[in-house]
Amino acid sequence: MIKYKGARFNKSKSRKRSFGETKPNFNSLVKQERDNFINKNAALIKETDPPLYYSLINRKLPKKYQKEEKVIMPVNAHVPPQSKLSPKELDKQLEQEALERKKREEALREKQQKEQKEKERIERNRAAVVREQRRIFWCNAYDQGNYVSIHSDKFKSREKKYEYY
């Protein structure tokens, strides 16, 4: 006989549902579909592509399916011309290369010095223009400018008004 009011019969309040069906659990549905696919196609996948099969079932690939990667060392077919030379010829060639390098460096240094001098010249000219700018301004050709006549009242007012003895 089933006890209707026993301790094992009653469900906890958190497990009781009064609003009908719940949302489907998509993770379980995906897992179920994956399992169905593996059950149907396991043999075929295992024959054709073992790494794919073992990755589907989440297992490590067995050693019999693992391929050893052989490292192929490159064959050095090109022999550099320096190794073909005798020691004397090699010394001559190295000296010649050093001279060429010095010439290139000297030409580069001269070019940089020319550029530096040109920059300094431009900067000096710019500073001179700024210095002379206060002396250069627009003027009216009909005005007298800074000239003051000695007979004018302005010039006379500069003189002392009183003579002291």
pLDDT tens profile 9-27: 566 666 655 555 667 788 8
pLDDT tens profile 44-74: 998 999 988 998 888 898 888 888 777 776 6
For 54, the token pair is: 């073992």
Amino acid at 154: K
Element (DSSP H or E) covering residue 50: helix 50-56
pLDDT at 6 over 60: no
Contact 155, 149 (CB under 8 A): yes
Give residue limits of the domains in the chain. 26-56, 88-133
**CA angle (133 as vertex; 138, 140 as ends), nearest 5:** 10
pTM of the model: 0.33
